[in-house]
Structure 1
């Protein structure tokens, strides 16, 4: 991938200067009427005409971050653009909706061919990688001190490279599990879920008991899910293993892998055994995150691993049967507080070498994040919580209130690590080896650690060489 060209353009302000008309008179005295007419004439001639804002055209690529209106993907985004144009009629915004399946590759091709969009709403996994490659325009100039103080360091870490802000954080929610509460009500086992606890924390032993109850009393339902086909949704599997094994995925400074502990290895071995025991979905090595969530939405799966308040809202029209989905933190081996990675959505501006387009794109970002009327509407339409700690109580749904509570468990996400784009590609092949009997949990995690640590070291070396 090659860096996009950078250029400087100078904006030239145009001043319209009118010449004052001076009336030539004789020595006779002017009448009051003549004086008034002369004054009005002078005022008209010396007042500059307002300079029209320079027309600019930008392109916005957007994943389906906002819930569709009337079942139409992109309809809400068009409303945003219409409202934006009332304040900035000089900026034409071309919207292109992309999917989570094909969008990442389309972005890679666009960047490689110097045809990236001007602005995008995405997540740190891709945005920070682009920022490290100098593909983005810093947003420091549109982030106020008030906003800086109102967003936690954990979220800022996912939005910055060094002291440069490359993503404007907008919506967030902790990634968690979800459970089909209706299934447990039907089998009379609701007491096996930790719903009576304010923080809903629970142990691996309690989780296993709940899975066994589903297997015994609702054999038509798959107790829980797992997936290892691709990098999509990797936060679900790594948080699942890390919490079951009371471990971290990476070290606190993100300098090396920390998931290859004995407890995490046992947790991964447990996943393989649970599959054989029919407590976990069969064929997980060939299932993607979307496949597992689809089973959940069909009512065929009691627990799913890759969920959040955002996904809960987005999945409402996708349910094939009606049931109540409830958010739960990942269980831990000893019942200790879980470590939840945050979902974070925000906007980034590509540095396409045109200062006018960059400035216009920043205005769109600022409008979506901070407009007095639309900022709150936009948050609710994403189904997420605000990235700003002062903005709460957007929803009356008790699951959203719990999601606010669960923010206490948020930890740093590994997406900010050097070499993360490569790190994640090594994860699923190792999971597949365990699921297919080709390696033990410890062998797989040690192999992953060796490859990932090498990628981290290489990325650090490359960054040092580019400075």
Structure 2
């Protein structure tokens, strides 16, 4: 019964989104009729500070609290409470909130992490607060990450390309100068070259105690890098029907490549019990030479090195290797209005989202990751020396989630299979066969239960 009600509510919201001309604020009306409204905004850690991590007392909630403060000054009847939640507890907290009717009003998060929730009817469409100018200022590929069946569920604010990161000082020590690219370039290596690099790092006596490369699969956090490794030899991951096909020969070859790196001591040991946070900390402490990063993590690292939190070293970027070409992806992040069932709160949430995503000053904060707006890119390009390299790298970006229902559940199917392969309980073929079998069940169930596909 509850799912049916949510489906009806979502359908109504989608119709309104496609027909309503503007929000109340645009027409000079009071938000929620002037009634006092208290909203809650959840976010997982992204960047620190309002516009820069160098600001005094910069923290992960600084920008959102500042935006809430400015909005409250314009609309004193609307109070917005900001809460930072851990990424590894996001799904659990949201699932509990759904079941207890205590959803937050607004969520700022990556599009792919939230796709299951708009298929459940827990997020309302936002098309009524998106103008033609907004659509023209943000690339179609970004919008595609935020839409299902023609409805937009996320107002994109920024994006974070994912790459590898390497310690260029260690490369020089190991005699790997030829593989080092410029400070503001993204290196491209083939899978064979990556193995050569890792072997030289492992065998360098001066780097004793340093692990060549990070690897982790204790949980689903930062699993996009593992998904990308499995595409290393050309596997598409999903077939033309939207089902998993990573157990094909080229997918199995990719997993075997990773297993061989681990067996040969070219990755950090015990990946089955390590998290991405563990490996990121080890890279920052110069215990790992090659690891993972995205534009926000990289910016935060540079800030931490400049303020003395992390001992400075020469950190540079590289693509995830592939044959015949490298791979890259990007996390599109933005604001979502949750389907709380309270019309006043939903209206106020959408108006706040429109304000934050279109205010000429606040949108400049997207430079802390990468701006989605062309207009912002033009304004900040001189402050972002890596922007040109990221833009050139866009040709290698793929949509890793397919915006499918059940994607969060699908993530939870993969890492146990990777663990089983790493500890020798399953072969690469067996692990991927089991993943595909279980994963396709998740995909089919997700489609059957999606209120977007089954209105």
Distance change (3 Å), C-alpha of 1:116 and 1:197: closer
- Indicate if the aligned counterparts of 1:423 and 1:455 stay in contact, CA closer than 8 A: yes
Superposition pairs of residues 202-217 of structure 1, within 5 angstroms: 202-217=189-204
Higher relative contact order (CA 8 A, sep 6+): 2
User: Which residue of 2 is the match for residue 375 of structure 1?
Assistant: 363
Aligned position for 1:448: 435
**Higher alpha-carbon deviation: 257-266 or 386-395:** 386-395
Map Cα deviations across residues 335-365 of structure 1 (whole Å, 9 max, x no partner).
x332322111101001212221111111211
Larger Rg: 1
- Residue equivalent to 2:218: 229
Superposition pairs for residues 394-405 of structure 1, below 5 Å? 394-395=380-381, 396-405=383-392
CA distance in 2, matches of 1:273, 1:409: 25
Q: Which whole-Å CA distance do the structure 2 matches of 1:126 and 1:173 have between them?
A: 14
CA positional deviation for 1:71: 4.6
What displacement does 1:302 show?
A: 0.8
1:354 alignment partner in structure 2: 342
> 2:89 — aligned with what?
102
- 1:311 equivalent to 2:301? Answer no
Superposed CA deviations along residues 346-394 of structure 1, whole A, max 9, x for unmatched, are: 0100121222111111121112211012111x213xx211123443252
- Alpha-carbon deviation of 1:158? 2.0
SS at match of 1:101: helix
1:140 corresponding residue in structure 2: 127
Distance 1:197 1:254 in 2: 39
1:21 aligns with none
| Structure 2, unpaired ranges of 5+ | 13-29, 50-54
Partner of 1:343: 331
For 2:42, what is the secondary structure of its paired residue?
strand
1:290 positional shift: 1.3
Q: Whole-Å Cα distance in 1 between the matches of residues 229 and 202 of structure 2?
A: 20
Deviates more, 1:312-321 or 1:422-431: 312-321
TM-score, structure 1 normalization = 0.82
Distance 1:138 1:206 in 2: 46
Quote the offset at 1:53 in angstroms.
3.6
Change (3 A) 1:100 1:114: same
CA–CA distance in structure 2, aligned partners of residues 371 and 133 of structure 1 = 30
Q: TM-score, normalised by structure 2?
A: 0.84
Instruction: Quickly say closer, same or farther: Cα 1:237–1:254, change in 2 above 3 A.
Output: farther
Q: Which residue of 2 aligns with 1:242?
A: 231
Name the count of aligned residue pairs. Answer: 418
Q: Distance in 1 between matches of 2:221 and 2:241?
A: 21
C-alpha contact 1:177 1:329 (8 A) present in aligned 2: yes
Structure 1 residue 397: Cα displacement? 4.1
- After superposition, the Cα gap between the structure-2 partners of 1:197 and 1:94, relative to the gap in structure 1 and judged at 3 Å, is closer
Q: Provide the rounded CA distance (Å) in 2 between the counterparts of 1:74 and 1:199.
A: 30
1:384 equivalenced with 2:369 (yes/no): yes
State whether residues 185 and 317 of structure 2, in contact with CA within 8 Å, keep that contact through their aligned partners in structure 1: no
Whole-angstrom distance in 1 between the partners of 2:295 and 2:185? 17
3-state secondary structure, aligned to 2:210:
coil
Q: Distance in 2 between matches of 1:304 and 1:199?
A: 14
CA drift at 1:317: 2.6
The whole-number CA distance in structure 2 between the counterparts of 1:97 and 1:72 is 10
Q: 1:110 offset after TM fit, Å?
A: 1.2
Secondary structure class of the residue paired with 1:230: coil
Compute the displacement of 1:73 (Å). 4.2
Say whether the 8 Å CA contact 1:338–1:409 is kept in structure 2. yes
